Amino acid sequence: MTGVLPVALEEATKVIQALLRAGKEYIGVMKTHGDVSEKRIKEVFNEFQGKIYQRPPLRASVKRAIRVRTIYYLDALEIEGRNILFRVGCEAGTYVRKLIYDIGRVLGCGAHMHELRRVRAGPFIEDEGMVTLHDVLYLYSRWQETGDMGMLRRFIFPMEKALDLLPKIFIRDSAVDAICHGAHLTAPGITHIESGIKTRDTVAIFTLKGEAVALGTALADSEEMLKVMHGIMIKTERVLMPRGTYPKLWR
């Protein structure tokens, strides 16, 4: 498999858990083991959209228990003989090779994945600022020679970029250091929130300047957070900002 692979550096490794849960998009080539009509292929592709049951393959690094995954879309882009160029958007943890194998079984002739390329991982898209390892080597060497930080910025993004797709909660400056020390976020510390947050959603906590403070679990939905005046709203799960970045204004 080729394509997008986000790599976190130093303190940014703390956001990897958010990326692991993010959806992925792939483009690949599926090869059927028999002749199937284009109409039938598209019918079966439609059947596999939505929630599916999937058992990880034999060589998987996880327990081979049946689990539910969501296929957001599955499109046959081109069909030439037994080769089908497809695009799939899926929930994190979906095994695309196993998906193709299962499609082949439903088609009745069998199928395998001939080629696969990841074109999106969460907020990171292949055509938007992604670079090859050769590019990294060249840009890094240019930075060493010239000291031009713009060379590094071509392939190193702020940690906040990895949190683009998470629902966000913005907090007062006075609450930041308490969160950095592991405190949970209470209602008085919230200034504004994004709509659509549901209880138990993973959320990103930001300062008013747009700096990532922590990841947390919502203990209430958006509407309730806007109504209440006290109580814990977000359970802090992973602190991202170093302690002392903002002044201590709590006891």
Angle, in degrees to the nearest 10, between helices 96-107 and 38-47: 130
Mean pLDDT estimate for the chain: 92
Tokens of 103: 């499609």
- What is each CA distance from 221 to 33, 50, 197, 234, in whole angstroms? 48, 24, 5, 10
Degrees (nearest 5) of the Cα angle 192, 194, 195?
120
CA distance 27 to 87: 4
Task: Check residues 157 and 63 and name the one with the higher pLDDT.
Answer: 157
Degrees (nearest 5) of the Cα angle 140, 145, 150?
55
Q: What is the pLDDT of residue 130?
A: 83
- Summarize the confidence of residues 175-189 as an average pLDDT: 93
**Per-domain boundaries in the chain:** 23-121, 166-239
- Write out pLDDT tens, residues 124-133: 998 887 888 9
Confidence category of residue 64, pLDDT binned at 50, 70, 90: confident
- What is each CA distance from 233 to 93, 139, 213, 226, in whole angstroms? 28, 44, 15, 10
Residue 170 has pLDDT above 90, yes or no: yes
Residue 23 has pLDDT above 70, yes or no: yes
**CATH classification of 23-121, choosing from 3.40.50.740, 3.30.465.10, 3.40.50.300, 3.30.70.3190?**
3.30.70.3190
166-239 has which fold? 2.30.130
Enclosing H/E stretch for 119: strand 111-121
